[in-house]
Amino acid sequence: MSGDGFVAGEGCHYGSPARGKLSAAAIAGIVVSATSFAFALSICFWLRRRKRMKSKTAKQPQVRVARLFRGKPVEDDLELDDEVAGPQRFSYDELAAATGNFSDDRRLGRGGFGSVYSGVLADGNREVAVKRVSEISRQGWKEFASEVRIISQLRHRNLVQLIGWCHRGGGGDVLLLVYELMHNGSLDAYLYDPERVLPWPARYSVALGVGAALLYLHEDAERRVVHRNVKPSNVMLDASFTAKLGDFGLGRLIDDGRRSHTTGFAGTWGYMDPESVLAGRASVESDVYSFGVLLLEIACGRRPAVPVREQDEDFIHLVRWVWRAYGGGSIVDAADARLDGEFDGREMACALLVGLWCAHPDCSLRPTIRQAVSVLRFEAPPPSLPTKMPVATYGAPADHPDTTTSSATSTTVSGGGGSGVGHSSTTQSSAESSLMKWQANNTST
């Protein structure tokens, strides 16, 4: 108790004179703390609400506008997620401007699929090759979409890079694919053009490059792929003659097993594994077979159909022709005569031997692509093959009753399931029919 007790004086009171009063600083602190707490609480509430809204949006099904191709609705899954780096979509006008409105002097080549044109994109910094799919081509939306989807997931120095694509609908559907420009064109031009002979070191480098590409597709890619159309015209050469495998229109992703998703055979006669044709399905083993034929072409400078005699309409398959040279004790005799003996004998023998190994009639005795590449790199010993080409022992599968089988052989000559690419024996061109005939006669007898 303090004070002097007089009313006119200090009076009487208990405790300190300042008790019960807050300073201005304390009041300000309380206000600031309360305001900060309220602000933090509102931020938390806003973030939580935003998260809920995103979750609801993600759960809602995406509404797609139906895409029409040749008057029919098709599955449109070419638009990639924003987070995925892949080929971009171009407008028709952009690509027309890049190629001089698809002028003839920009045309690099023409085939059954359509034409390829050189061009320069609007930024002026990138040369491209634009593939314009012909309206009468067998390549439809399925093959077009397959090529875009598959290549967008692949990254390898020995694969052609797909830069973008375009589909212009309306009165006349136009399908366009945009690739990096390969200044030296395709391999077949150097194997069969008498004016341009590719020297052996470059050929062997091409063989290793294609092998590396297939090794990536079959075993190392995140989504493994069966190419189904390995051949010289699909091997492109850049300015330094580095091999790049292209054309994935027939490619298919591999499922949990080693077989391709596809039913029905597809590819090019002469490069197609006879057993794959018969079974109506593709596999990594059938790609290895095609690689084997390619190796023999690179080494021999001959197409898969080898005339029995000059100016003769009878042919034998290149595999059998080389196997005869191997059985004769000098496989190097099958080397391309245009090389004039200017090649490494060890590499030549290795390429020919691995080619035969990959194209072995029994797919169970073929190497994996990794084994084949290891031998080509001289990291593993060469295979031991019989001097006489083995006889194929496969027959018509029971689960493909719709196939037509030659009376003299067990090789089917008609398409299997719904790939839309295979030909029936009644619709084949005469050239394809002839090629099928000698392929059948020389793979199962």
Q: How far apart are CA 307 and CA 303, in angstroms?
A: 10
Report residue 215 as tokens: 């090794």
Residue 159, classified by CB atoms within 10 Å of its CB into exposed (0-12), middle (13-18) or buried (19+), is buried
Q: Residue ranges per domain, the chain?
A: 68-180, 188-441
Residues flagged as binding site for ATP: 131
Q: How far apart are CA 416 and CA 321, in angstroms?
A: 29
Task: For residue 410, give the 3-state DSSP assignment.
Answer: coil
Question: Which pLDDT belongs to residue 261?
Answer: 40
Cα dihedral across residues 42, 45, 48, 54: positive or negative: negative
C-alpha distances in Å from residue 270, one per residue of 187, 379, 432, 436: 17, 30, 10, 8
pTM of the model: 0.70
Tens of pLDDT, residues 6-54? 555 555 555 555 455 567 776 777 766 777 777 777 777 777 777 676 5
Residues flagged as binding site: 131
Which among 390, 387, 389 is positioned nearest to 327, based on CA atoms?
387
68-180 has CATH 3.20.20.70 classification? no
Q: What is the pLDDT along the chain (445 residues), one digit of tens a residue?
A: 555 555 555 555 555 554 555 677 767 777 667 777 777 777 777 777 776 765 554 444 444 444 555 445 555 555 544 444 567 889 999 999 999 999 999 998 876 667 899 999 988 778 999 988 866 555 566 667 777 777 777 889 999 888 888 887 655 678 898 989 999 999 999 998 888 899 999 999 999 999 999 999 999 988 888 888 899 989 999 999 999 998 766 667 665 444 444 445 566 878 888 887 787 777 889 899 999 999 999 999 999 988 877 666 688 899 999 999 999 999 999 999 999 999 999 999 999 999 999 999 998 899 999 999 999 999 999 999 999 999 877 655 444 433 333 322 333 222 333 332 223 223 333 443 444 454 445 444 3
Q: 188-441 architecture in CATH?
A: Orthogonal Bundle (1.10)
Tens of pLDDT, residues 194-252? 888 999 999 999 999 999 999 999 999 888 888 888 999 899 999 999 999 987 666 67
Can you give the length of the chain in residues?
445
